[in-house]
Structure 1
Amino acid sequence: MPSITTNDGTEIYYKDWGKGQPIVFHHGWPLSADDWDAQMLFFLSKGYRVIAHDRRGHGRSSQTWEGNDMDTYADDVAQLVRALDLKDAIHIGHSTGGGEVARYVAQHGKGRVAKAVLIGAVPPIMLKTAANPGGLPLEVFDGFRAALAANRAQFFRDVPAGPFYGYNRPGAQVSQGVIDNWWRQGMMGGAKAHYDCIKAFSETDFNDDLKAIEQPTLVMHGEDDQIVPIADSGLLSAKILKNSVLKTYPGFPHGMATTHADVINADLLAFIQS
């Protein structure tokens, strides 16, 4: 399988399909590059080069017990980008991957990044603090950690079957295949890395990253996102970014890139071609 080896010896698996302007996809927790199937096939058919990696500790990459933090995630991306010599790239991140995009573009993207997209993304910061009173309390994330440690396999059933795709809403059209695919991706990764990543996605402060990004950035967020509530994430990020476009979607869930791929792909294409 194609992979690079980072400076600390971690193997980062990646997919690299097609030719043309590169689009790099950054997946959410606790998933893998496979979560972008609908987007990668779509943009490949439109003449783009599509790249997606498995974050360290996730998917087919090394099951790391250390380095599971946002700075290291961004460093890993920078090493992958250099190895593939990607220039004029569009970086698209979902959820935790949106945080990874913000940190990478702010710290490593100068001269290599054309545009960025944050989809249901965790910036500016998820955790409730004195400076972020609208955030989620620490007890929520402690609950995630406890559920993961107690029975990761069941926890990774409950999340996609419930709030992630909005399947807990009345009248939702539930896809067992989508639920099973989420579980499959999650269980491929390492429990220690997944446990640590909860702190990375919930407690990392991306305010300075957002302020530093100069590239055009599309912020996309479902208005019924139960995982990363829009009021304390997408709406705030769009205000902090220097050059942002905000698109919100009534009734769409956190996993809208899967449940509403046709809508999301069309809007992504329009932004990329603008």
Structure 2
Amino acid sequence: MNAITRTLATGILAAASAATAATPSPTSLEAAARAATVEGDHVVTADGVRLYFKDWGPKDGPVVTLSHGWPLNSDSWESQMLFLASNGYRVVAHDRRGHGRSSQPWDGNDMDHYADDLAAVITALDLRDATVVGFSTGGGEIARYIGRHGTGRVKKAVLVGAVTPFMLRTDDNPGGAPIELFDGFRKAAQENRAQQYLDIASGPFFGFNRPGAARNEGLVQTFYLQGMQAGHRNTYESIAAFSATDFRGDLAKFDVPTLVIHGADDQIVPPELSARLVPKYVPHAEVILYPGAPHGITDTHKDRLNQDLLDFVSK
């Protein structure tokens, strides 16, 4: 990486790692969430960011919220949304700031803002007793949401292929992934992010690089299209958000039933760095590993995932 890129990356990483150091008071966080307004199919946050959302199923049904992964948007949840809504649940999913049909702000591309945006959606739509579900980066989002906003509106939590508890190797997290791995992500994003998305989708995300795997062009192109809808700076900074944010303290605040679902052959977020470690911080968490499954299980294993989610939320 060149000096300018390294300086930028270092600053982003420092901000992500120190994000919990200056957490606003619960009162100010609640006030910001309550300042959000609904304008058609967008929630407008206190800082003026427009968040596109989908609200499917009966409005009086039990609530499930879905937080998506990098660099995707709420369309990546369409199978789960259709299934759960068809089974009587009110299912809400939003496009993260900088992604999909939401605003592309220059600043605020970090987990604290992601969590506060989720709080804005939940509060503006007055969602209560929600099962909050997060995939990959979205798993970090719901963890930080609980860490900052508590579980007053949350009934259950589900981490799917999530980046929790902490991806980056540090002195107190020696088992994490080296920063050079994420530097490579940033380098590829700057050089040609369109090709980066195609390479990720064609290879490790869906496990198409495994021997005997049959590449599905529709899944590859859908991943690519969603990625290219997102803002360049937004997805670039989000790499630090999902890799360098420490969620260990957030997970310690999980006081609701928690389910962890992960692909056993996840090459993007290996379960050894994530799912297998969650019970250390959430002792009551139930962990399910799908044998041979890749990262993108919302598509590759959608039938099993849909049923596991339904079984969990209906308990």
| Pairing 1:160–2:166 present | no
1:180 paired residue number: 221
| Pairing 1:12–2:51 present | yes
**Contact 1:121 / 1:233 at 8 angstroms: preserved in 2?**
yes
Structure 1 unaligned residues grouped into runs of 5+: none
CA shift at 1:197, angstroms?
0.3
2:42 paired residue number: 3
Question: 1:173/1:238 Cα in 2 relative to 1: closer, same or farther (>3 Å)?
Answer: farther
| Pairing 1:61–2:73 present | no
CA shift at 1:240, angstroms?
1.2
Q: Give, in whole Å, the separation in 2 of the partners of 1:109 and 1:161.
A: 38
Residue 93 of structure 2, aligned match among 31, 49, 52: 52
| Pairing 1:144–2:178 present | no
Q: Give, in whole Å, the separation in 2 of the partners of 1:105 and 1:242.
A: 16
Residue 118 of structure 2, aligned match among 74, 77, 84: 77
1:268 paired residue number: 309
**Contact 1:219 / 1:238 at 8 angstroms: preserved in 2?**
no
Secondary structure of the corresponding residue to residue 134 of structure 1: coil
AA of the residue aligned to 2:66: F
Q: Give, in whole Å, the separation in 2 of the partners of 1:258 and 1:245.
A: 22
Secondary structure of the corresponding residue to residue 59 of structure 1: coil
**Contact 2:151 / 2:255 at 8 angstroms: preserved in 1?**
no
CA deviations over 1:100-134 (Å, ceiling 9, x no partner) = 01111232143200000001100111001121111
Secondary structure of the corresponding residue to residue 156 of structure 1: helix
**Contact 1:164 / 1:255 at 8 angstroms: preserved in 2?**
yes
CA deviations over 1:213-243 (Å, ceiling 9, x no partner) = 1011101111100000101111101231142
Identity across the alignment (%):
55
2:289 paired residue number: 248
CA deviations over 1:170-218 (Å, ceiling 9, x no partner) = 1112210000000000000100000000000000000000001101110
**Contact 1:214 / 1:242 at 8 angstroms: preserved in 2?**
no
Q: Which runs of 4+ in 1 moved over 3 A?
A: none
2:163 paired residue number: 122
Residue 22 of structure 1, aligned match among 55, 63, 72: 63
- Say which is worse superposed, 155-164 or 100-109, in terms of deviation: 100-109
Residue 79 of structure 2, aligned match among 15, 21, 38: 38
Q: Give, in whole Å, the separation in 2 of the partners of 1:128 and 1:255.
A: 24
**Contact 2:112 / 2:144 at 8 angstroms: preserved in 1?**
yes
Q: Give, in whole Å, the separation in 2 of the partners of 1:181 and 1:83.
A: 30
Q: Give, in whole Å, the separation in 1 of the partners of 2:270 and 2:107.
A: 29
Secondary structure of the corresponding residue to residue 25 of structure 1: strand
**Contact 1:23 / 1:92 at 8 angstroms: preserved in 2?**
yes
1:207 paired residue number: 248
Q: Give, in whole Å, the separation in 1 of the partners of 2:187 and 2:165.
A: 25
**TM-score w.r.t. length of structure 2:** 0.85
Q: Give, in whole Å, the separation in 2 of the partners of 1:169 and 1:66.
A: 38
Q: Give, in whole Å, the separation in 1 of the partners of 2:80 and 2:102.
A: 21
Q: Give, in whole Å, the separation in 1 of the partners of 2:110 and 2:128.
A: 25
**Contact 1:10 / 1:62 at 8 angstroms: preserved in 2?**
yes
AA of the residue aligned to 1:105: I
Q: Give, in whole Å, the separation in 1 of the partners of 2:146 and 2:121.
A: 13
| Pairing 1:95–2:136 present | yes
Q: Give, in whole Å, the separation in 2 of the partners of 1:126 and 1:242.
A: 19
Structure of larger gyration radius: 2
**Contact 1:211 / 1:242 at 8 angstroms: preserved in 2?**
no
Structure 2 unaligned residues grouped into runs of 5+: 1-39
